[in-house]
Structure 1
Amino acid sequence: MSRILWDCREISTPFLPQLHTHEENVAWFLGDLMPENQVWVAEQDGQVVGYIGYREGWIQHLFVHPSMQGRGIGPLLLAKAMASGGQVELWTFQQNTRARRFYEARGFRPVEFTDGSGNEERAPDVRYLWSP
């Protein structure tokens, strides 16, 4: 999962800084993401190619390796998080037009725009909401 996050930052969102090492990312996955959220992975040939971390009403992380994007993995992972049928929120970066198109095509709507001062990347972001 750390490799997917790293590669997505390098390839899909090069405007974002790499703030953490692989080791720091792994520690975050093990210490925060996984204990506090349900985490599901998508695999191909025994390799993790995507993952989602979510709890009721909130998507914390959804990443698909850049080489695997456009193959239906993201929608399947997102559907898992939305299976409860309740309202769902998430953040993404304003510059991440591919992610924004992805969420908007699935009925998410932007409800808050920020200047990025509240995230560690200091990049403008947008909060999305999906309601049944």
Structure 2
Amino acid sequence: MAIWKVGLSCVASVKNGCMVIIDRKRIATMVEYRKTTPDDANSCVKILRHWIDETNWMPMLHSEPSMQQFWRGRLDQTAGWVAIENRRVVGFCIRDGGDITALYLDPSARRKGVGKELLDLAREDLDEVSLWVFAANTKALAFYTREGFVEVFRSDGDNEEGLPDIKLSWKR
């Protein structure tokens, strides 16, 4: 199993990884990245359910057990990566062929470069990647735009959630 470690330093601009500053002293943390396994399903579902709970527009359509069963199967059939900090999964990214189907972070991992690192791992061996993002998810839209994704299609909400979404594409 391959594990990537990203050491972090306390500087004004961190391009990869994350940093923590307490009392203006440098505290280094380590985020590890590895391929997903079906055993990661519970952690991924916990992150996803937390994200759904904190949005005021995303419906909770499935029970936790059904989500765990679904993700256990997905993690066994697709390419995926998890970010681990202090032996805890803090983010995950799933890719099915050239489509990124999920990228979610625990709140503790946001705005620290973890999402970018997961995205970079997912697209490192591809020349083109696409994904769908809900139109209401303005933070994700801003993130993907910064990463070079462009809008290629808008839906009227003809999906399981009944919410308008946007197809984005990235080319090397």
Q: Work out whether the TM-score is over 0.5.
A: yes
CA distance in 1, matches of 2:78, 2:67: 16
Q: Does 1:109 align with 2:150?
A: yes
Shift of residue 36 of structure 1? Answer: 2.6
Any conservation in 1 of the 2:91–2:105 contact (CA below 8 Å)? yes
Larger radius of gyration: 2
Match of 1:6 in 2: 49
Instruction: Specify the code of the residue in structure 2 equivalent to 1:3.
Output: K
Q: Does 1:122 align with 2:162?
A: yes
Tell me which moved more, 104-113 or 59-68: 59-68
Shift of residue 6 of structure 1? Answer: 0.3
CA distance in 1, matches of 2:56, 2:66: 19
Instruction: Specify the code of the residue in structure 2 equivalent to 1:114.
Output: S
Give structure 1 regions of 4+ aligned residues with deviation exceeding 4 angstroms: none
CA distance in 2, matches of 1:85, 1:28: 26
Q: What is the identity percentage for the equivalent residue pairs of Structure 1 and Structure 2? A: 33
Which residues of structure 2 form unaligned runs of 5+? 1-43
Q: How many residue pairs end up in the alignment?
A: 129
Which residues of structure 1 form unaligned runs of 5+? none
Shift of residue 43 of structure 1? Answer: 0.7
CA distance in 2, matches of 1:88, 1:36: 18
Deviations 1:1-51 (A, max 9, x none): 11000001112x3211011111111111012x2133112110111110000
Match of 1:49 in 2: 90
Instruction: Tell me which protein shows more helix as a share of its residues.
Output: 1
